[in-house]
Amino acid sequence: MDNIGRYRLDRRLGAGSFATVWLGHDDGLDVPVAVKVLAENWAANDDVRDRFLAEARIMRRIRDHRIVQVYDIGTLSDGRPYFVMDFIDGGSMDDLRRDRIHPTSALWLCAEACRAIDVLHQNQVIHRDVTPGNLLLSRDQSGATRVVIADLGVAKSMVDVAGATMTAGTPSYMAPEQATGMAALDRRADIYSLTAVTYAMLTGSPPFPVRNLADIVTRDRHATPTPIATRLNAPASLDALMVSGLAWDPSRRPPTAALLAGALDGIRYEIQSRSRQAAGTSVQTSTRYFAAERPTVARQQPATPPSHGLPAATEAPAHRQPLPRLQARSRPASYYVLVILCAAAVFMVSMLATILVLR
């Protein structure tokens, strides 16, 4: 397959159970595109076909920079539908999960992912398959990175999923109620998945050893993820948030993705603050060591240390303080009269001595 409609195909980007995604090029606009095509074995299945087209409509309807935009749709000669969307070239969060990026970077990306999912929730859509691989990274011309959602293959309207049994998704990140089908799904199923993604981004692995749906169903309902705050030098609230977000009972989870994003931001700020304080302690310790080696150079500590833990650049040590200026001592008026009389007497004596010499 060399072309789909007016789009020239370059290479296959990936294939799933229901569709294949190709990297293409729009010669008319001279831009790269991603072309998603329904798999041949599902072309005759009306339910899968409708789901495929619903994904394109959802992505087209939601106008937000966190959701990949769909701008064309069509049908191949064999009857398979396809749609064309923007190509996101920054990889996925799963690439970074394998690389084990710094915890503060991971928390920032996960908070951004929460905000992207919140856009879906605001539009009454549940994603149902939030994984690091489905959260793409886009970089603008300035180099700034944002998290973008591109795969809504199993996303459904909140109205459509009410009271239905929905088990589509990835087991390692799937909410228990989604796996068991015992309860109606709402946005808290995605919040469970977002928490699992956060845990995986911070540790490299999902929170529970799950291989299939049966592992979820038979899991201890009171099981909690292994604590990670201490080894990440993070506050205890991180472990508490993981326990809450991964709770079996949806009512114990954060109610919205926006609130989860805010909690992750707060933990990230705390880690950064601890790092700055640790750096300040290190500098102060080395300064004290230096002063011990040179006891004649004493430093005066400020009464109130700066909040960032480092000495302020404008605070000079005591031995560098400027010396006080000498003040002129005031004299009485009689002193100046005596000086003038003495000067006059010296002048008169000089004049008399000169006259005597000339005679």
101 shares its domain with 56: no
Q: What is the pLDDT of residue 192?
A: 97
Q: What is the pLDDT of residue 2?
A: 84
CATH classification of the domain holding 64: 3.30.200.20
Domain of residue 7, residue span: 3-86
100 shares its domain with 41: no
165 shares its domain with 249: yes
CATH classification of the domain holding 261: 1.10.510.10
Cα 298–Cα 299–Cα 304 angle in degrees, nearest 5: 155
Q: What is the pLDDT of residue 48?
A: 86
Quick: pLDDT tens for 177-206: 998 887 788 999 999 999 999 999 999 999
164 and 82 in contact (C-beta within 8 Å)?
no
> Count of domains in the chain?
2
Q: What is the pLDDT of residue 155?
A: 64
- Residue 318: inside a domain: no
Q: Which of 221, 254, 272 is the last residue of a domain?
A: 272
Task: Report the alpha-carbon distance of residue 218 to residue 171 in Å, rounded.
Answer: 13
Neighbours of 65 (CB within 10 A): 12
Looking at residue 324, what DSSP letter applies? P
Out of 86, 129, 151, 190, the active site residue is 129
CA 141 to chain centre: 19
26 shares its domain with 54: yes
Quick: pLDDT tens for 239-295: 999 999 999 999 999 999 999 999 999 999 999 998 888 887 665 544 444 444 433
To the query of whether residue 129 is one of the catalytic residues in this protein, the response is yes
Q: What is the pLDDT of residue 263?
A: 97
216 shares its domain with 201: yes
Q: What is the pLDDT of residue 159?
A: 46
Residue position matching structure tokens 């031995």: 319
Model-level pTM greater than 0.75? no
Task: Report the alpha-carbon distance of residue 25 to residue 189 in Å, rounded.
Answer: 36
133 shares its domain with 211: yes
Ranges under pLDDT 50 in the chain: 159, 161-166, 285-329
